[in-house]
Amino acid sequence: MTVRLAVLFGGRSGEHDVSRRSAESILAHLDPAAYQVTEVLIERDGQWRVNGDRATFAQALRAIGDQDVVFPALHGPYGEDGTVQSMLEWLGVAFVGNGVFASAAGMDKPVTKKLLAADGLRVADGVTLRPDEDLSSRDQERLGLPVFVKPARAGSSLGISKVEQWAQLPAALRLARESDAKVLVEHAVRGREIDVGVLQHPDGRVEAGPPLEIRVANAAFFDYDAKYDGGAVFHIPAQLDPGTTRLLQDRAVQAFHALGCRGLLRVDFFLPDPDADHGTGWTGDHREPVINEVNTFPGFTAASQYPQIWQRAGVSYSALLDILIQGALHRHDAASPCPSPC
């Protein structure tokens, strides 16, 4: 039976273009014999289009509600932060990926860190600044240099700066606040940057893929240009000993459960340099990986880490989409109060 599927993309965040590129890849890899696809685009100004035609909000909601399942290929605020997930829950339609709580918590970096640390996972030391707050001299001394300054609720490395001298901090705060008034100043962990993708299968089994190592040639860190303009090289699997690989995979699955995730998650780690200064506030084993960030809907472009991780694990892009869609349908059916139709 053909599944009626809406791919929802675009949005009002600074990651509008990334979302469109993710959706383009998703649409190109969906099996046309298995899915009857409706394209739902949210323009930058919040206007809606259904299969290319301008639609009112009510018309768009009706089109979405008529689907068997929705694939929200949205990144950033208004899409990845629980906003759209809440709308889809209200419509009562199955949808791919994380629910309202995990999406909202995973989008807010300081909240993510608190939840992960409460579950015993290691995170970098940092300070959250509200609007008009500055980093105190005491916190500067505690964090040390360098630090990263990040918008609390943005993705794709938008608005992030690496600060190597405190004189650079005011400009970094201004840049971050262009994306979010709430800002995170975080100790820079020296070490290898490793990503692990987590996938939940339709039967509920949660699996971590092979670790991916990011190496950036011509940038200070893995910034927006490095992510989407070919400035980084991915090594899959990362050259790690079996014990470290298992540890990273175990911690990624632990993070998935700590945040109440479903469907998918990408966990971005630092594997600390054993000879580096470990000023992260951690009192345990310094070989323990540091969770940098999580992504509750990672990029699905041709250049994105998450699809590449699963392709290396033997799961093709098309098969990955099928797993996510079937998982969403299965969870929705299991949660229904009575068989359809009631």
DSSP 320-342: HHHHHHHHHHHHHHHH-SSPSP-
Question: Which residues lie below 8 Å from residue 2, measured CB to CB, with a gap of 6+?
Answer: 33, 34, 35, 36
The residue among 312, 290, 303 whose CA lies nearest residue 211 is 312
Nearest to 252, CA basis, from 202, 306, 299: 306
Q: Which residues are catalytic?
A: 15, 156, 228, 266, 268, 293, 295, 299
Please provide the distance, in angstroms rounded to a whole number, between the alpha carbons at the two ends of the chain.
21
> In this predicted structure, what is the pLDDT of residue 223?
47
Kindly provide the residue ranges of all beta strands, DSSP E only, lying in the chain, ordered along the sequence. Answer: 3-10, 35-42, 48-50, 53-55, 69-73, 94-95, 126-129, 147-151, 161-163, 183-187, 191-200, 206-208, 212-216, 232-235, 264-272, 290-295
- CA distance linking residue 155 with residue 131, whole number of Å: 19
**CA distances (Å), origin 190, targets 152, 212, 217:** 21, 17, 16
Q: What is the pTM of this model?
A: 0.92
Q: How big is the CA angle at 172 (ends 168 and 175), to the nearest 5 degrees?
A: 145
Spatial separation of the C-alpha atoms in residues 222 and 186, rounded to whole Å: 15
Q: Are strands 69-73 and 94-95 parallel, antiparallel or unpaired?
A: parallel
Give me 306's structure tokens.
Answer: 């998450």
pLDDT of residue 181: 95
Provide the pLDDT for residue 1: 86
d(CA 263, CA 197): 11
Q: How far apart are CA 326 and CA 57, in angstroms?
A: 27
Q: Are 38 and 5 in contact (CB under 8 A)?
A: yes
pLDDT of residue 342: 41
Q: What is the DSSP string of 20-56?
A: HHHHHHHHHHS-TTTEEEEEEEE-TTS-EEETTEEE-
Q: What is the DSSP letter of 168?
A: G
pLDDT of residue 340: 45
**pLDDT-flagged residues of the chain (< 70):** 156, 218-230, 276-284, 336-342
The alpha carbons of the chain give a radius of gyration, in whole angstroms, of: 20
d(CA 268, CA 295): 8
Please report the pLDDT score of residue 341 as a whole number. 43
d(CA 23, CA 44): 15
